[in-house]
Amino acid sequence: MSAPKIRLDCVSKSFGGSVVAVEKLSLDIRDGEFLAIVGPSGCGKTTVLNMLAGLEPLTSGTMTLNGKPIEGPGAERGVMFQDYALFPWRTVRGNVEFGLVYGPAGQGLSPAERTERVERTIEMVGLKGSHEKYPHQLSGGMRQRVALARLMASEPEILLMDEPLAALDAQTRVILQDELLRIWGQDRPATERRTVVFITHAIDEAVFLADRVAVLSSHPGRLKQIIDIDLPRPRGDATRRSGDFARLCQSIWELIREEAYRATMN
Amino acid sequence: MRLGGVLVYLRTMALFVLAWYVGSLLVPSKLLLPSPLAVAAALRDTGLNGELFGNALISLVRLLASLLAAAAIAVPLGLLMGRSRLWNDLLELPVEMLRPIAGIAWIPLALYLFGIGHRLPLFIMFYTAFFPLLVGTAAGAAAVDKRLIAAARTMGLSGPSIMRRVIVPAALPAILVSARLAVAASWTAVVAAELVGAPNGLGYAIEYYRSMLSTPTVMAFIVTIGVLGFLTDKGLRQLSKVLTPWAQTGAAR
């Protein structure tokens, strides 16, 4: 087994000295795997992602990418935010090309290559014909696609996604789960896939998408268990209906049920 | 502008002029309140001999020049104040002490410094426009959505790039609103500044015709200021629509 892509070693994060969001989290993330992190609210999922993105410093512990410590944001780690964080003053095209035009991701690309990649990415997420629309003119599902396109256009090595589908209705969500797997490359051999860290509170979503699911407990956030999801790829509707799928969802639910109940009481 | 909108304006103005006319019949002295007809005649006369347009153009150019100069300094400074604790700490106290002082309070000093001419009204209007722009820009820059900045950081943008590509466009609607406030304040300052310190301009004309006891002409110039104030605001609102189509009320998010 090769060295992990990302290694979290005894990572803790506290806010204001007293509130412990994440406690002694150790986790290896493998190259090319789709890792989902689930847990009840208050388990520090988003904090873990922000630390991976380099947006928040660790309180203690170490976090390495390809063996080097993560010290800040970097274009090799692309982030898709929970509420998309699209630039409202830029069109669909303007948002998708942003990282290529102004960030290091576009260095070495000719303007023609850049345009070609932006076009291809917009088409890939199904937004062809909406190039000149502004985010406020789009539905929630379309904004989500723009955010995905913006993430993919820069071709980062690692995709960090923070509950990207949480704000969508159930049907749109199922469709975008399928598309996410297609865009990620579930049809391609595992060595050609990008590494994904996907935060969600939806257990079925985590099981459907991921190779492994890391279950966190809350207050403070600790790693409870890592579950291998051995469902065959490519996955689709048949996966959702399978008994194995239901069994995996059930076993994860049992891990966090007690805490989830407690969270509803607060 | 749509025809319906024009009709609404005309209706409002007609009512206003009618009330004015009735009022002028009730006030015995033409010197105190001239009738709208007399003012219209004065508008026609000063319009025909070029006096109206000449003075209006001078005041308008002064206003735009001082606004641009104020924006050239206040906007970058406001961006720094809005985004940097250090700059904010450095500038907040002097700004908050100078801001409540009306521009016209500086007229006596400015008279010594600049004498009568272009420079005095330019200075007074610059001062008047400066603070709304500075404070509005700083507030706009400080209120930029943190997640947008985080998004740009994760795409590897440097600090100056983020300022240029995220902070400035995100704060632009707030900057344009503060420009509207600055222009409105400048129009109120233009008269006072030109009344005392300029050999021409709308304020000068008002003072000149006051000394001639020609109130209809005084009113004609006052009306002109009102119309210009309205038009410049309209122009800025139009500019906001063109520059920030994504931030118009109702559709914005």
Give percent of chain A above pLDDT 70.
99
Residue A233 lies in a domain: yes
Question: For residue A79, which residues of chain B lie inside 8 Å, CB to CB?
Answer: 150-151, 154
Q: Indicate if A99 and A57 belong to the same structural domain.
A: no
Which positions in chain B touch A87 (Cβ < 8 Å)?
Answer: 148, 151, 166, 169-170
Q: How far is CA B169 from the centre of its chain?
A: 22
- Closest CB from A83, A134, A154 relative to B155: A154
* Residues A246, A226 share a domain: yes
How many residues does this entry show for chain A?
266
CA nearest to A100, candidates A155, A147, A145: A155
The arithmetic mean of pLDDT across residues B118-143, rounded, is: 95
Tell me which of A155, A178, A199 is where a domain ends: A155
Overall number of domains in chain A: 2
The per-residue pLDDT of chain A, averaged, comes to 90
- Give how far B146 is from chain A: nearest CA, Å: 9
The Cα of A22 is separated from the nearest Cα of chain B by a number of Å equal to: 21
**How far apart are the CA of B153 and the nearest CA of chain A, in angstroms?**
6
pLDDT tier at A214, thresholds 50, 70, 90: very high
Categorise residue B102: left if φ over 0, alpha if ψ from -120 to 50, beta otherwise: beta
- Give the pairing of strands A34-38 and A68-69: unpaired
CB contact under 8 A, B147 and A81: yes
In a domain, A84, yes or no: no
CB spacing of A73 vs B172 below 8 angstroms: no
Q: Which of B196, B189, B195, B187 has the alpha carbon at shortest distance from B228?
A: B187
The residue segments making up the domain with residue A237 are 6-76+157-265
User: pLDDT digits over A170-193, tens only?
Assistant: 888 898 899 889 888 888 887 888
Share of chain B above pLDDT 70, in %: 98
For A213, the token pair is 């699911």
Structural domain includes residue A214: yes
Predicted pLDDT of residue B250: 47
Asked if the interface predicted TM-score (ipTM) of this complex is over 0.95, the answer is: no
Quick one: A198 and A67 in the same domain? yes
Of the residues A108, A136, A155, the one at which a domain ends: A155
For residue A81, is it within any domain?
A: no
Q: Is the pLDDT of residue B251 over 60?
A: no
Best probe of the B interface among A81, A87, A152, by most B CBs < 10 A, is A87
Query: Do both A228 and A254 map to the same domain?
Result: yes
Residues A71 and A168 in one domain: yes
pLDDT of residue A139 exceeding 50, the answer is yes
**Residue appearing with tokens 């847990």:** A39
C-beta atoms of B154 and A88 within 8 A? no
- A68 and A166 housed in the same domain: yes
Of all helices (H) and strands (E), which one includes residue A228? strand A222-228
Q: Are strands A6-15 and A19-29 parallel, antiparallel or unpaired?
A: antiparallel
Q: Which residues of A are less than 8 Å from B147 in CB distance?
A: 81, 83, 85
Say what the pLDDT of residue B231 is: 95
The domains of chain B are located at 39-246
Q: Which fold has domain B39-246?
A: MetI-like fold (1.10.3720)
A195-199 sheet: strands from edge to edge:
A77-80, A158-162, A195-199, A34-38, A212-217, A222-228
Q: What is the mean pLDDT of residues A88-104?
A: 95
- Structural domain includes residue A51: yes
| CATH number of the domain residue A167 falls in | 3.40.50.300
Give me the mean pLDDT over the B133-143 stretch.
97
A49 and A146 co-located in one domain: no
Does the distance separating the beta carbons of A55 and B253 come in below 8 Å?
Answer: no
Kindly state whether residues A16 and A148 are assigned to the same domain: no
Mean of the pLDDT values across residues A39-56?
Answer: 89
Out of A106, A133, A155, pick the residue that ends a domain. Answer: A155
Does A166 share its domain with A222? yes
Q: Within a domain: residue A196?
A: yes
Residues in chain B: 253
Contacts of A229 (CB under 8 A, 6+ apart): A207, A210, A211, A212, A213, A248
Report if residue A82 sits inside a domain: no
In single-letter form, the type of residue at position B101 comes to I
Q: Which of B145, B156, B165 sits opposite A73 (nearest CB)?
A: B156
Q: Which residues of B touch A73 (CB under 8 A)?
A: 150, 153-154, 156
Q: Model confidence at B253, in pLDDT bands (50, 70, 90)? A: very low
pLDDT band per the 50, 70, 90 thresholds, residue B40: very high
